[in-house]
């Protein structure tokens, strides 16, 4: 029913879910769906900065309940979203702490909130 209402309103609905795992510094699995954090980009896992970003994102959200504000899908078909842990904007936090860079897919909204 929730998804029908979202389609009728033609607006993204916020989802609350549990982060099952962190794939890397800008991608999580939430209720078994891959979600790419919108507006940011972490270096690849295996690089020093990429591993630091992944570790920080795990500390912030892994195993926790988060709110996802949808921002469409990326070029690779992954869901894009702004992730909130209580009042903390995780996307913005990762950027402000220097773990990730700003990044936008073609057509993606630029704000981190």
For residue 9, is pLDDT > 60? no
Nearest-angstrom CA–CA distance, 105 and 112: 13
Nearest-angstrom CA–CA distance, 76 and 46: 21
Span of 34-38, 70-74, 98-102, 105-109 with lowest mean pLDDT: 105-109
| pLDDT tens figures, 71-94 | 888 888 889 999 999 999 999 999
Q: What is the pLDDT of residue 111?
A: 59
Domains and CATH numbers, the chain: 2-102 (2.40.50.90)
Cα separation values, 27 from 3, 102, 110, Å = 23, 14, 18
Nearest-angstrom CA–CA distance, 94 and 57: 8
Nearest-angstrom CA–CA distance, 26 and 75: 15
For residue 5, is pLDDT > 80? no
| pLDDT tens figures, 18-63 | 999 999 999 999 998 999 999 999 999 889 999 999 999 999 999 9
Handedness of CA 51, 80, 96, 86 (dihedral sign): negative
Confidence of residue 14 (pLDDT cuts 50, 70, 90): confident
């Amino acid at each position: 029913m929730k998804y029908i209402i979202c389609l009728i309103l033609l607006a993204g609905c916020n989802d609350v879910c549990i982060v099952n795992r962190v794939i890397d510094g800008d991608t999580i699995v939430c209720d078994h769906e891959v979600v790419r954090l919108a507006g940011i980009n972490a270096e690849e896992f295996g690089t020093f900065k990429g591993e630091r970003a992944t570790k920080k994102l795990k500390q912030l959200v892994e195993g926790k309940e988060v709110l996802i504000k949808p921002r469409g899908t990326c070029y690779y078909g992954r869901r894009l979203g702004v992730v909130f842990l209580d009042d903390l904007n995780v996307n913005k936090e990762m950027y402000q702490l220097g773990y990730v860079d700003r990044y936008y897919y073609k057509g993606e909204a630029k704000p981190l909130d």
